[in-house]
Structure 1
Amino acid sequence: MPIDAAQALAAEPRTVEISWTPRDVLLYHLGIGAGLPATDPAELRYTLETRLHVLPSFATVAGGGSPGVIRGLSMPGVDVDLARVLHGGQSLTVHRPLPVAATATATSRIVAVHDKGTAAVLVMRTEVADGDGPLWTDDAEIFVQGEGGWGGDRGPSARHAEPAGEPDRTVERTVREDQALLYRLSGDGNPLHADPEFAERAGFERPILHGLCTYGMTVKAVVDTLFGGDVTRVRSCTTRFAGVVYPGETLRIRMWRREGGVQVTVGAVERDDAPVLTGTIVGHG
């Protein structure tokens, strides 16, 4: 079969050097919708280099290389059609605040392969450190349609209970028509987010927004709304990508304060709040 679980799990980790500059951080922030209104002091901390604070979600694109999903598809034992691949989930743990510029090493490996019957799920873990020690660890869940059924471990359930009670805060964020085109400049060049013909082959009516763009917009909304703009309060963010977002739509982000974290759901307003992100927890200190 195209996925050889034993080979993928036994493969040696891959380590590469990555680096980024304030320009990369600024571009990422613009890619997730920062800068509106352009002169708002609360937005200038994301868009002006002399005031720059780095959102922790920048870790998912730092270094300008391919995201965990694309890197995972290049690992030994994995040979699948990109059009059958979806980003199933993301888990990020931040060990200390991200610097505005750095050179670091990123070590990646497949740490789990799950058999969901009609699909396979690969978990690609990347650990990043610089000269001062660990910076972050992130796990990308790679959902590959049509590659299950070999009798392997099913892994954890993807079901998550809905938050109880009314949310503490609800905000709406508009996704620009060109949001995916701008976001992909930070390194994720998957044609699913730009090429209508490729998107149709993958089963979508038109190009969709990157799941990690929605993820970044959500982290920013929590930081701005509940953390007073303090990016250093974020310790982790885990989510599952439950549905697609089309550029031009509006995200409704609901937040519930919980012990040690914020529980979040995200829906697409124009499609009757169709779920976009579920099981989302932003841990804080």
Structure 2
Amino acid sequence: MINYDELMAREFPVIAHSYTIKDTILYALGLGLGTDPLNPAHLRVTYERAEGFGALPAMVNVIGYPGFWAIQPDTGLTWQKILHGEQSLTLHAPLPAEGTLVSQTKITGIIDKGEGKGALIYSERAMTDQATGTLIATVSSTSFARGDGGFGGPSGPVKSVQPMPEGEPEVSYDFRTPEGAALIYRLSGDFNPLHADPAVAAQAGFKRPILHGLCTLGVASWSITQALAAGDFAALKHLELRFTSPVYPGETVRTEMWRDGAEVRFRARVVERDVVVLNNGLARLG
């Protein structure tokens, strides 16, 4: 069972995560970029000599990650029943194409939804450039601990959900994920066998390995900048969303967008199954 005070005070190690241009390119390839090798937009994130080469902002999701800490016995969590519910990222400065970022993770809130209803765990990770001390990014996550409600913790405040506009989207952008996307994306740090092993996927109730949710997030972030920022991937300054359904590698992700100045409301659906996989999305461009 969750001990609220102990979990809120949990200390995470400071992580110095060094990465190279090779890692930056590997992350982009894991999203499925590079499948159009003559496209200058693809080359800007997959070929180090391309004009304007740089790191995709969503790559901050895989830098300085403290690992699946919920599996540790002292957390009191039923780790087998934890789902990744929400994710957000904010870029305070451009992400260098290579370097070392120092990250610090902390738990910012735990919500008790009640016995049999689970708990929400809010966490935040700040990343600074080791060489300059510049704050580069803040990444926040919401985990849904389905088996851990009823521990006597606070029932709020619960993070509000971004509203979605009514009517048809103003802009849509389709991106077909490669069949082998999950096998490449996992090399950026998430080695959960659910994304590679057909037997493990079957045990979890899926017909085959699924794509990482953060990979789908990366696809959506790319799609937004291609559709609304003239292909300038560095224009993305903030992104937040809810995960609502998994994607199978090889499926087409359609990102649907409504723009209001620098803000973009969005969702994403799998075209082949007409299933919304990301929802309540908000992006800010700058």
Q: Kindly indicate whether the alpha-carbon contact (under 8 Å) linking 1:192 and 1:207 is maintained by their aligned counterparts in 2.
A: yes
1:27 paired with 2:26, answer yes
In the alignment, what sits opposite 1:121? 120
* Corresponding letter in the other structure for 2:146: Q
CA RMSD of aligned residues (A): 2.0
Which residue is 1:147 aligned to? Answer: 148
| Structure 1 residue 280: Cα displacement | 0.7
Corresponding residue number in structure 2 for 1:106 = 103
Structure 1 residues 245-264: aligned runs within 5 Å: 245-264=247-266
TM-score by length of 1: 0.90
Question: Number of residue pairs matched?
Answer: 279
Counterpart secondary structure, 1:99: coil
3-state SS in 2 of match to 1:49: coil
> In 1, are the aligned partners of 2:240 and 2:283 still within 8 Å (CA)?
yes
Deviations 1:13-42 (A, max 9, x none): 421111111100100000001113111112
Amino acid at match of 1:61: V
1:212-258 deviation per Cα after TM superposition (whole angstroms, max 9, x unaligned): 00000000011111111222321110011011111222211111112
- Identical columns (%): 38
TM-score by length of 2: 0.90
Q: Please give the secondary structure, in 2, of the residue aligned with 1:54.
A: coil
Deviates more, 1:260-269 or 1:209-218: 260-269
Correspondence for 1:188: 190
> What does residue 280 of structure 2 align with?
279
5+ residue gaps, structure 1:
none
List gaps (5 residues or longer) in structure 2.
none
Q: Match for residue 42 of structure 1?
A: 41
Alignment partner of 1:61 is 2:58: no
Equivalent-residue separation in structure 2 for 1:231 and 1:248 (angstroms) = 23
- Tell me, yes or no, if structure 1 residue 97 matches structure 2 residue 94: yes
Question: What is aligned with 2:4?
Answer: 5
Distance 2:71 2:90 in 1: 22
Distance across 1 between alignment mates of 2:102 and 2:9: 21
User: Are 2:176 and 1:174 aligned?
Assistant: yes
The residue type paired with residue 165 of structure 2 is P
- Tell whether the 8 Å contact from 1:115 to 1:121 is kept in structure 2 after alignment: yes
CA 1:58–1:157: 2 relative to 1, 3 Å: closer
